[in-house]
């Protein structure tokens, strides 16, 4: 809509993204369309970050890069789940239920995210030892179980700096963070500290009352010192005087707005 409330452009799609209605100017067209992804006007393909998608044939132009992980039976059942064997399928052939924000595998819902988070917390590699903690590894392992690998090799402060870029992610409120987590989206609680930052993924669980602040705060899959390791309130995972910010990637946010 324009400032004069005149309709500028009207778009509607079939479930897999093929354009159904396209009313608007033939010049200065909005580039972001189905699931808020950019449409290449020359190829008529959508670029999702990991690969290109053709809405006319309802398939990706290249196989799912998660194949190597699927061979181990993870994530989402790996090769033991029949729909994962189609490496060109979009959103497991069910775009009304699943989301596929970047061309990688995704969590079906909050329950799947919860299972993934709990499994990662049991992984020996993220257990605190020798005075060291591994929040960056824990965060990325949960992402990997959803089929993404955005923070491979990055330390916590580097992850925080990436999330702070408006072009990459958007800050959301604590209650919004829990709402997105309940939909199976990984929302990251993050804060920069002088030596080592801290990051943790929001758990798809009800908010809890913090005894230190008297406020309702999210629960996190927290990889930290043993005393604060596990599913913890954000006020246990982060200093009370420096609470975290919550971030959702712009790709995931745009995708959810199109659902």
Q: Is the pLDDT of residue 125 over 80?
A: yes
pLDDT digits 0-9 by tens, 20-31: 888 776 666 677
24 domain residue, yes or no: yes
4 domain residue, yes or no: no
Q: Same structural domain for residues 129 and 70?
A: no
Higher pLDDT, 79 or 244: 244
pLDDT of residue 5: 63
pLDDT of residue 255: 58
104 domain residue, yes or no: no
pLDDT of residue 228: 92
Whether the model pTM is above 0.85? no
Higher pLDDT, 14 or 24: 14
Q: Same structural domain for residues 65 and 162?
A: no
Bridge partner list, 248: 170
Taking residues 135-161, report their average pLDDT: 84
DSSP output for the chain: --TT-----EEEE-TTS-EEEEES-SSS--SB-GGGPEE-TTT--EE-SSSEEETTTTEESS--TTHHHHTTT-STTGGGSGGGG-TTBSGGG-TTT---SSSS---SSHHHHHHHHHHHHT-GGGS-BTTB--HHHHHHHHHHHTT--TTTT--HHHHHHHHT-TTTEEEE-HHHHHHHHHTT---EEEE--SS--EEEEEPSS--EE-TTTSSEE-EEEE-SSGGG-EEEEHHHHS-TTSPPEEEEEHHHHHHHHT-
Between the alpha carbon of residue 140 and those of residues 9, 61, 66, 100, 131, the distances in Å are: 39, 26, 14, 18, 21
Domain count, the chain: 2
- Per-residue confidence at 1, pLDDT binned at 50, 70, 90? very low
pLDDT of residue 2: 45
Q: Is the pLDDT of residue 145 over 80?
A: no
Q: Same structural domain for residues 114 and 155?
A: yes
Higher pLDDT, 27 or 146: 146
Q: Is the pLDDT of residue 76 over 70?
A: no
136 domain residue, yes or no: yes
pLDDT digits 0-9 by tens, 98-112: 666 566 545 778 888
Q: Is the pLDDT of residue 213 over 60?
A: yes
pLDDT of residue 100: 67
Which is it for strands 188-191 and 208-209: parallel, antiparallel or unpaired? Answer: unpaired
Rounded to whole angstroms, the Cα distance separating 176 from 174 reads 5
Rounded to whole angstroms, the Cα distance separating 55 from 192 reads 40
What average pLDDT is seen over the chain? Answer: 83
Q: Same structural domain for residues 222 and 156?
A: yes
Give the residue from 93, 120, 135 where a domain finishes: 93
Please state, as a whole number, how many other Cβ atoms lie within 10 Å of the Cβ of residue 43: 11
Closest to 248 (Cα-Cα) out of 195, 189, 191, 208: 189
**Which structural domain range is residue 171 located in?**
110-257
Give the residue from 44, 62, 93 where a domain finishes: 93
Q: Is the pLDDT of residue 219 over 60?
A: yes
Higher pLDDT, 41 or 105: 41
66 domain residue, yes or no: yes
Phi, psi (degrees; rounded to nearest 5) at 255: -65, -45
Please state, as a whole number, how many other Cβ atoms lie within 10 Å of the Cβ of residue 254: 16
Q: Is the pLDDT of residue 32 over 70?
A: yes
Phi, psi (degrees; rounded to nearest 5) at 249: -65, 150
């Amino acid at each position: 809509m324009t400032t004069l409330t005149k309709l500028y452009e009207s778009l509607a799609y079939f479930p897999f993204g093929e354009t159904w209605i396209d009313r608007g100017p033939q010049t200065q067209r909005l580039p972001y369309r189905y699931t808020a992804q950019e449409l290449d006007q020359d190829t008529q393909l959508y670029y999702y970050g990991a690969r290109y998608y053709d809405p006319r044939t309802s398939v990706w132009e290249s196989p799912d890069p998660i194949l190597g992980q699927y061979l181990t039976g993870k994530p989402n059942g790996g090769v033991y789940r029949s729909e994962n064997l189609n490496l060109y399928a979009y959103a497991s052939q069910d775009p009304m239920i699943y989301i596929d924000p970047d061309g990688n595998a995704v969590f079906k819902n909050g329950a799947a995210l919860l299972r993934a988070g709990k499994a990662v917390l049991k992984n020996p590699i993220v257990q605190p030892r020798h005075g060291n903690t591994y929040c960056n590894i824990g965060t990325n392992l949960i992402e990997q179980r959803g089929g993404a690998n955005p923070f491979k090799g990055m330390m916590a402060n580097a992850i925080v700096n990436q999330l702070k870029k408006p072009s990459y992610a958007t800050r959301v409120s604590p209650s919004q963070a829990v709402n997105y987590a309940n939909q199976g989206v990984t929302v990251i609680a993050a804060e920069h500290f002088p030596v080592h930052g801290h990051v943790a993924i929001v758990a798809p669980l009800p908010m809890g009352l913090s005894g230190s602040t008297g406020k309702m705060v999210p629960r996190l899959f927290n990889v930290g010192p043993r005393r604060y390791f596990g599913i913890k309130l954000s006020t246990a995972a982060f200093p009370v005087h420096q609470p975290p910010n919550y971030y959702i990637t712009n790709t995931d946010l745009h995708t959810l707005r199109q659902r």
